[in-house]
Structure 1
Amino acid sequence: MKATPPLVPPAEQPLDSPWWLAPALLTVAAVLGGTWGYRSSPIVHASAWLALPYIIPLALVAASWRPSAHRDTRTRGLVLGGVGALTALVYAHLATFVLCAVALVLWAFHGGG
């Protein structure tokens, strides 16, 4: 009598599609979004240390490059990459808003003068 292999649940079956396509697109989206966001904000003329937090979105996109054999880890990586690409897109405008709000609050506490 032949022994049948145990059934593998669908969540643990290996993926057949090319795993690198989505991380590659997310990397391009993060770089283009970060470049466009930075160039379209007023902080482009500020000091270079304001570009340092772009490390966080790039680290999130880099996490999506980890090859995974299971659907749940692949989905987690793609979500991290998508969040990284979106963060790279809006970071410069968010930093501009925060810096303007801090400047306004400091101006208000100094008596407006």
Structure 2
Amino acid sequence: MNATSPPKPPPAAWLLAPPWWLAPALFTVAAALGGAWGYRTSPFVHASAWLALPYVIPAVLVAASWWPASRPSARVRALVLGGMGAFAALVYAHLATFTLYVVAFVLWAFQGGG
């Protein structure tokens, strides 16, 4: 038996293949812009800087999308992680604001109302 390798696609097909780095680059830009917009539109702008520390989690999720995929399932996982990171950066400040308001209201309600 003579085993031959499958034919390589022509060079024109290489140019039509989507670049793998395009989605992670878009997620990086979306996370940075979403995080900046979310932080600027929340009351955290005047708070201490440690409240910005949880932005590390969306940054790590987006950074995980930069890992080159060796399988189609890894490519899907990278897209999901990048999308989750960009979304988390967008909503973190507002979700944290809501959580702090709920905690303050519950503490106020249980301490006797005032």
| TM-score normalized with structure 2 length | 0.86
Amino acid at match of 1:3: A
Counterpart in the other structure of 2:71: 70
Residue 43 of structure 1 deviates from its aligned partner by: 1.5
Counterpart in the other structure of 1:17: 18
Deviations 1:62-101 (A, max 9, x none): 0000011221101101100000000000000000000000
Counterpart in the other structure of 1:3: 3
Residue 4 of structure 1 deviates from its aligned partner by: 4.5
Residue 5 of structure 1 deviates from its aligned partner by: 5.1
| TM-score normalized with structure 1 length | 0.87
Does the alignment pair 1:107 with 2:108?
A: yes
Runs of 4+ in 1 over 3 A off after TM superposition: none
Counterpart in the other structure of 2:12: none
Aligned counterparts of 1:47 and 1:65: Cα–Cα separation in 2: 31
Aligned counterparts of 1:81 and 1:58: Cα–Cα separation in 2: 9
User: Aligned ranges for residues 14-93 of structure 1 at < 5 Å?
Assistant: 16-93=17-94
**Runs of 5+ unmatched residues, structure 1:** 7-15
CA-based RMSD: 1.4
**Matched length:** 104
**Runs of 5+ unmatched residues, structure 2:** 7-16
